[in-house]
Structure 1
Amino acid sequence: MIARFLLLASVASASFILPAAHAQDSAPDQADAAIVGGAIVVTARRRAEELQDVPLSVSVLNADAIEQTGSYNIQRLTQLQPTLQFYSTNPRNSSINIRGIGAPLGLTNDGIEQGVGIYIDQVYYNRVAAATLDFVDIEQVEVLRGPQGTLYGKNTTAGAINITTRAPSFSYEGKAEISVGNLGFKQAKATVSGPITDRLAVRIGASVTDRNGTIYNVATNQRVNSQDFLGLKGSLLWKATDTLSFTLSGDYNLQNPVCCAQIYAGYGPTQRAANRQYPALTAALGYQVPSTNPYDRLTDLDAALRARNEMGGASLRAEWDLGPGTLTSVSAYRYWDWQPSNDRDFTGLDITAKSQNPTQQKQWTQELRYAQEGQTIDFVVGAFAFHQTIHTTGSQVQGADASAWLLNPSSPLSQIPAVLEGLTADNDIRLKNSSAALFGQLTWHVTDRLSLQPGLRLNYDRKTGSYDSVVTGTASDGTRQTVTFASTDPWIVAQRGVLAPQSFDAKFSDWNLSWDLTASYEVSDDVMAYATWSRAFKSGGINLNGVPLDANGNPQLNVATVKLEKVNHYEVGLKTQFWDRRATLNLSGFWTEIRDYQAIVNNGQNSVLRGYLANADKVRVRGVEADFSVRPSDRVNAYASGAYTDPKYLRFTNAPCPPELSGGSSSPATCDISGQLLPGISKYSLSYGVEFNVPTAVLGGDGQFYLGWDGSYRSTFSSNASRSITMDIKGYSLNNLRLGFRNSDGINVYGWVRNIFDQNYMEVLATTPGNTGLIAGQPGDPRTYGLTIKADF
């Protein structure tokens, strides 16, 4: 941590060696365009325009809002955006949803796409893990709700998160920030920018975060679920001519915390025999969890915990004013290196001694587009290409308590630890994923007030993947053998019921045509109404977590691939400003129907927790949203955003059964959950905040003391693919407070308290292997507090 703070100090000190002779006023650039004349400017339609002129449901957070509320990653943004959901048990097992759709809640499957596109400086990030890293030098975050496929990358069927970082400037500037708080929290950020020559400017930024864990592991005498983040970003802007510029950017991000523990959250009886459920199994082994109250934040996990998450890349953006429009090229390379270690039995028993799926992923993207604005016609046309490679080499090793825990207690084998001890599955998983697209969107200003906006996207996807799991165990004669379905050795037979070998190759390819049509009408200068009808697709995929086996041990290849999602989306909206534009109220209503929805199914065939994909016949999500902000005076500003969301499986007849109906000899293989709610979605959600300030001349110059409050609420939601009587997470509210001083010289000092009422809540609940009824959970952060000092210079 000391070394990282020294690194930040060096970034800050670099500002003093920038050539002062080259300092000059900068031309308006992306960083300067965030707010123009009091209006919020966005690039949601790939061109700069005022937020209220965009016929789209979009929310915007600028750098000040992000920093003041402590929203330094997308997970924290969910407290400010009611219809943005983020779930993560570790960086790899993360999902982002908008309006409840985007990615299935559950274990990550590398063979499918996410439905929410993440873009940073116009570069598409294919992995949700990107969202778990700290923001570095952010200028603005736009959350676009609803399908965006005719303008954005790929598979943005639920929406897009468009993040813009600050651009290099041709005038000297710098920022520095340091925060300290309870739980050993330390965070520091620094940025410098300035000219190198009259046409060349540079920007360098860095961020480090460190915090002790919120859960105490009594087995290892250490705090777990800690934070240990490092982020570096640099960019170089070359204005080759007055009409041509190039921006070269690179970044490096590293997380290396002691993480991620899910702890005892409860017990819910299943259909398994009583002697094979959690109470009887723990009693037989003489085991007792450190606490049955998850908010005591105690665990005794005995396997090593690690969540090393490294990510970086480089991009080159060229912008050329060509004729009446602008030609933009964005070339990018990104990599992701994930090195985890987990305790997948969720107890202090030696059941699963090792469980990990390290993965290395690389992606290349190229986008080329031309945008033009005119009095009657505006348009954007372009092409996009994407290629990704994934190589995952996972392993799972069973421990000395596995036989007693996983095998039937009536079998004498359950009393022999050596039957399962050392049983090992070595997995090799590979994927090549390519896609290409042509897209375009046109805006026809029929009159001064009426506009029509059609869009098209032609997309091709191709995936080739393989899954190979080799299992080795100890036979009854004491020799190590490959576990096969041909063996009749009773030990091997028992082992393959726990970790079954399988191997298969699969391919997927398809063309699809997406389109949308939006009509907007300016009722008055401050009121606009719009309506959208769109047809979108989310790419199909390959099941790369393994698939069920038939009676002979052969993979059921009929579920090795999953169909693409077909989305029909309808939306109406109203954007208004009033009270001399001091107040803004935007309303939207939406109705989204998805056929062949990609849902996670838990395979109850084996004693391990394995998720694979299936297509639900039809899903519907509908709702209304409202975004309100008001600034009655220079002394007060406030906002409130709310959403009602009604998500439902209209037809899903072959769904996984909830835990209470699983595990028994007569339990149904599948359940009909048609009419049930989708997981992870609250019907009601709300974000709100207010800030008051009082002018003062303290420390000279113009300054002000301020008091800010922001909070969020969400109602009960399901944390299981099929709604269960034991897997709902109760609704909760979180409230944060800040009190500080800032002045016109760029000094800002404030104290903050987050989760001020110390609300106990669960971020996620999960079933555990073996249908034992054990429920694991991840408690949200307790109350935290601290002090932040910022300076702009």
Structure 2
Amino acid sequence: MRNLLLGGVAAVVLGVLVGAPEACAASALEALDSVSEEASSALEEVIVTARRRSEAAQDIPVAVSVLTAARIEDAGVFTVGRLQQLAPSFQYFSSNPRNTTVNIRGLGVPFGLTSDGFEQGVGVYVDDVYFARAAAATFDFLDVAQVEVLRGPQGTLYGKNTTAGAINITTESPTFAFEAKGEVTLGDLEFRQVKAAVSGPLTETVAGRLALSSTARRGTIWNVRTQTWVNSQDNLGLRGQLLFRPMADLDVLLAADSSAQDPECCAQIFVRTGATQRPLARQYAALAAAQGYAVPSTNAFDRITDVDAGLRAGNIIGGASARVKWDVGPGTLTSVTAWRFWDWKPENDRDFIGLSIVRRSQNPSQQDQYQQEIRYDGSSGPFDFVGGLFAFHQRIDTQGTEEQGANASRWTLTGALAANPAVLDGLVARNTQWLTNTSAALFGQVSWKVNDSLTLQPGLRINYDEKEGYYLRRVFDGQGAPVLFGQTDPVKVAQRNVYAPQLSAPSFSDWNLSYDLTASYRFTGDILGYATYAKAFKTGGINQNGLPADPAGNPILAAGTIRPEDVNHLEAGLKTRIPAFAGILNLALYRTDIRDYQATVTNGQFGVLRGFLANAGRVRSQGLEIDASVAPTEFFSAYVNAAWTDAKYVRFVDAPCPPELSGGTTAAPGQSPSAPGTPGGVSPANCDISGSRLPGVSEWSFTYGAEVQRPVTLLDREGEAYLGVDGSWRSDFSSNASPSAYTNVKAYGVLGLRAGFRAREGLELFAWVRNALDAEYYEFLAVGPGNTGLIAGQPGDPRTVGLTLRLSR
């Protein structure tokens, strides 16, 4: 029935669009005769606030992808993560909301498990409010007007570290004319989404706006153990705003929002195994066979699992803000005061299979952040300027629990201890940790119009950061007795090798100076060229989730802090309007070099750490980006965006080894390691991965789309019938901090189609299909714990179809 419905709608719209051959020929000739006139009139400027003031996107010397509300909604992009479908230089990976990575051009934060002790390199802003963690921006888009993806360092304009770029989200504001809109979407996988917003005057000087969004979908993976679908969606968001305008030059905007997510999520499932250098009897196949275990399917795209631990991704996000804008003197004074909170309540299965190895793995945390920004922007003669002060404070408290299960002894230990389930069954590590993060900055930028063609734009940022952390891990056996250093009983030693007690209190503080200089030249009214040099820093950090340990099990205190990233960035670009086709063609060529790159270092042990931060020597990202769009007639529009990204470790000589080189006896000085994947072999202590690609980055990525429409009258409403396509493709990428043959994600493409009717006033109805070709792809792959060779992954969504109705007035 779903296919019949979609096919029927598409057939009707195609018939309307195609019509009789004679009519089409006549229409085509008329369109060709008037193409230039129509296209010129259709070339509408897109206004952005990328430089903290309203400007035409084609007039600013910044590489920015502008995604309007219509384009976002048409493509079914309703979260930050789905922006990857429209912006090829944007990378997003998430095993659950807490472990979310947002990068631009391959840079931003280390790929893999995240830590609160370091900063994002890609800043996420909603209506000028900074979201300190990517996890706090995993909400559904709510009443969004526009999204701008700024590429490259932005620190001299934005109040927090943005060494790789910024996501600038603008929501709709209250209006003094009544308006209302609503949207209902139904699809397979029990997909249900409702959006609504209402806005209007409350008094002559006060306007209000209220918006809500609800999304629900059953999971895409069947758990045969619990007989439930997992990796579902369950999101609810609410946002309210009050605009007070006592005089024409003064706006006071009060806003509050809350978003709740509580899906049964997120399972990573068996994908494959690969040989490591552990003894053969200690690798996955032998360990599973010894316990009579087999996964329910070795094909991840059967979408079946048997994970036995609880799954939950409870996420409550919200806050309040006050933004004051006052036109005074030659510019506008803006004050942004904001408070935000984030409450994370997770449950995970960290062994990825149905055996009870890690029975519980959860790190609930609570965050409060406070922001105050004051800036002034304006114009005076040949100068445009913006400058400001930014202050930020954050507190995060986390209570962690990780517990071993009944199958852990046989899986992890050897000899007589392996045969005794009680050795590890119930062994639990309880972690208490907190972090405070304080930041202050002075920033500014000036644009000097030297003449009608040449503009020089210097910028400066002075930044101070201070972090203090505390981490305490207490360990107890299955009977509740503490596990401590100094205990010599073989059982206690075995338990301590899995979970070792630890106490650390790292801290960091530092000043840094960032600056940039951009020269832009307008060759003609429609062609702008620019070149930029930027010196930026991403502040240092602390290892907040515990420290790596020495052979005796003691924390390595020197690993408690990481140095700031030192960024040198060069970029040249060209922005071109093509009025004859209502088109644009933008090019950007860049190179970013980073010293002391903040990388994620992993190990295969259950008990020490799954990942911590360290400084790699040098990283380089360089590439070319092309953004193009045309609308030669009012009946047709198309876009294509492409990115070539060459992001590599220039020098990383002491990186963690990939699984095929891990698990064996550590090589002694002068001893040669065994070949990769040699059971019982000799493993290097660490690996030189200099010259290899950064994780999560495709060398080539494309997004594209088109829409064709034709005027029709339906149900006594004038409008357009249309067909649309939106697609993306990306080449293969590494899904491990150190490149591995086992964790390379193959190239894939995702295609979306839509067909419907859009009335000129107040109504739109369309059918859609996402992942129309039912491409089988992985969002990411992960290495299982213990160097057993287990590789798990998260399959991308299958093909889905649905119907959307929008109403407005």
User: What is the one-letter code of the residue matched to 2:530?
Assistant: Y
TM-score (norm 1): 0.94
User: What is the one-letter code of the residue matched to 2:481?
Assistant: Q
Aligned to 1:444: 448
User: What is the one-letter code of the residue matched to 1:465?
Assistant: G
Distance change in 2, residues 1:604/1:300 (3 Å): closer
Which ranges of structure 1 fall in alignment gaps of 5 or more residues? 1-34
482-491 or 306-315, larger mean C-alpha shift: 482-491
Three-state SS of the structure 1 residue aligned to 2:145 is strand
For the pair 1:216 / 2:243, whether they are aligned, the reply is no
Aligned to 2:349: 343
- Describe the superposition over 1:370-403 as per-residue Cα deviations: whole angstroms up to 9, x where unpaired: 0012330010010000000000000011111000
Shift of 1:605: 5.2
Runs of 4 or more consecutive aligned structure 1 residues displaced over 6 Å after TM superposition: none
- Cα separation, 2, equivalents of 1:349 and 1:37: 60
- Cα separation, 2, equivalents of 1:289 and 1:481: 34
- Cα separation, 2, equivalents of 1:129 and 1:190: 25
Aligned to 1:435: 439
For the pair 1:571 / 2:571, whether they are aligned, the reply is yes
Q: How high is the sequence identity, in percent, across the aligned residues?
A: 57
Aligned to 1:7: none
Query: How does 1:340-739 map onto structure 2 within 5 Å?
Result: 340-408=346-414, 411-474=415-478, 480-580=480-580, 582-604=582-604, 606=606, 610-666=610-666, 667-739=683-755
User: What is the one-letter code of the residue matched to 1:766?
Assistant: A
Shift of 1:653: 0.7
User: What is the one-letter code of the residue matched to 1:533?
Assistant: Y
The correspondence for 1:126, drawn from 99, 109, 132, is: 132
For the pair 1:174 / 2:190, whether they are aligned, the reply is no
Shift of 1:242: 1.9
- Cα separation, 2, equivalents of 1:607 and 1:437: 39
Three-state SS of the structure 1 residue aligned to 2:297 is coil
User: What is the one-letter code of the residue matched to 1:665?
Assistant: T
User: What is the one-letter code of the residue matched to 2:293?
Assistant: Y
User: What is the one-letter code of the residue matched to 2:409?
Assistant: S
User: What is the one-letter code of the residue matched to 1:452?
Assistant: L
- Cα separation, 2, equivalents of 1:39 and 1:492: 69
The correspondence for 2:780, drawn from 759, 764, 773, is: 764
TM-score (norm 2): 0.92
- Cα separation, 1, equivalents of 2:131 and 2:42: 29
- Cα separation, 1, equivalents of 2:725 and 2:43: 26
- Cα separation, 2, equivalents of 1:152 and 1:362: 20
- Cα separation, 2, equivalents of 1:654 and 1:172: 62
Aligned to 1:88: 94
640-649 or 701-710, larger mean C-alpha shift: 701-710
Aligned to 1:74: 80
- Cα separation, 2, equivalents of 1:501 and 1:73: 39
User: What is the one-letter code of the residue matched to 1:509?
Assistant: S
- Describe the superposition over 1:759-790 as per-residue Cα deviations: whole angstroms up to 9, x where unpaired: 00000100111101000100000000000000
Aligned to 1:328: 334
Shift of 1:579: 4.0
Shift of 1:608: 6.2
User: What is the one-letter code of the residue matched to 2:702?
Assistant: L
- Cα separation, 1, equivalents of 2:744 and 2:546: 27
Shift of 1:221: 0.2
- Cα separation, 1, equivalents of 2:533 and 2:699: 24
Distance change in 2, residues 1:464/1:223 (3 Å): same
Shift of 1:193: 0.1
Aligned to 1:29: none
- Cα separation, 1, equivalents of 2:139 and 2:115: 20
Three-state SS of the structure 2 residue aligned to 1:264 is strand
Three-state SS of the structure 1 residue aligned to 2:391 is strand
Shift of 1:696: 0.6
Aligned to 1:242: 248
User: Is the Cα contact below 8 Å between 1:515 and 1:536 reproduced in 2?
Assistant: yes
- Cα separation, 1, equivalents of 2:257 and 2:596: 37
- Cα separation, 2, equivalents of 1:59 and 1:623: 16
- Describe the superposition over 1:122-170 as per-residue Cα deviations: whole angstroms up to 9, x where unpaired: 0000010133210000000000000000011211000000000000000
User: What is the one-letter code of the residue matched to 2:777?
Assistant: Y
- Describe the superposition over 1:310-348 as per-residue Cα deviations: whole angstroms up to 9, x where unpaired: 000000000011111110000000000000001111110
Shift of 1:643: 0.6
Query: How does 1:104-253 map onto structure 2 within 5 Å?
Result: 104-253=110-259
- Cα RMSD of the aligned pairs, angstroms, is 1.2
Bigger relative CO (Cα 8 Å, ≥ 6 apart) = 2
For the pair 1:740 / 2:756, whether they are aligned, the reply is yes
Shift of 1:700: 2.4
- Cα separation, 2, equivalents of 1:256 and 1:607: 28
- Describe the superposition over 1:707-755 as per-residue Cα deviations: whole angstroms up to 9, x where unpaired: 0001000000000001011110000010000000011112000000000
Three-state SS of the structure 1 residue aligned to 2:685 is coil
- Cα separation, 2, equivalents of 1:50 and 1:770: 54
- Cα separation, 1, equivalents of 2:691 and 2:332: 49
- Cα separation, 2, equivalents of 1:551 and 1:572: 50
- Cα separation, 2, equivalents of 1:174 and 1:151: 34
Three-state SS of the structure 2 residue aligned to 1:534 is strand
Which ranges of structure 2 fall in alignment gaps of 5 or more residues? 1-40, 667-682
- Cα separation, 2, equivalents of 1:619 and 1:642: 22
User: Is the Cα contact below 8 Å between 1:406 and 1:607 reproduced in 2?
Assistant: no
Shift of 1:581: 5.6
Three-state SS of the structure 1 residue aligned to 2:665 is coil
